[in-house]
Amino acid sequence: MPNIAAALKEEIARLTRKELRGQSGGLKKASSQHRRDIAALKRQVTKLESQVSLLEKHALKKAPDASEGDTTTGVRFTAKGLQGQLKRLGLTATDFSKLVGVTPQSIYNWARGTSRPRKEQIAAIVALRGVGKREAKVRLRQLGDPKPNGKKQA
């Protein structure tokens, strides 16, 4: 009897392997197709990244040419100059930010030199260079600030 049991066991195992091989064949084909697709996509991404880097290099080379028509051509921005302008006008970063149209944090970062304003913002800063203390305070009142320098009226 042990021979029959062993033979049956062996035959069941053989049929099971045969059935599994038939069912997993489709999965193997699908898996290999997915791998080929992934490899093709990786090649495509690499190609596109190289094209983007080339375009960025060309765009950076052309950027100075585009700025020649700006009104801010020849204007230098320095953090020290902005600090001097704030001091000359007697304004806080909050008040100055309202005049320029940015957040007070931006003014703070520009004055520290950790970031630089955009061209439009430099133009607004340049427009304020010829303004005195009184004119700056008048403009702040027009923008809706009742009292400049963050002080509230009693």
Using the predicted structure, report yes or no on whether residue 57 has a pLDDT greater than 50.
yes
Q: Are 134 and 109 in contact (CB under 8 A)?
A: no
Average pLDDT over residues 58-64: 70
Let me know if residue 74 belongs to a domain: no
Quick one: 65 and 87 in the same domain?
A: no
Q: Is residue 93 located within the same domain as residue 55?
A: no
Q: Is residue 141 part of a domain?
A: yes
Query: What is the domain extent for residue 107?
Result: 79-150
The pLDDT confidence band at residue 62, using thresholds 50, 70 and 90, is: low
Average pLDDT over residues 18-31: 88
Same structural domain, 99 and 42: no
Long-range contacts at 89-92 (CB < 8 A, ≥ 24 apart): 89/128, 89/131, 89/132, 89/133, 89/136, 90/133, 90/136, 90/149, 91/136, 91/140, 91/148, 91/149, 92/149, 92/150
103-140 per-position pLDDT tens digit: 999 999 999 989 999 988 888 888 888 888 888 888 88
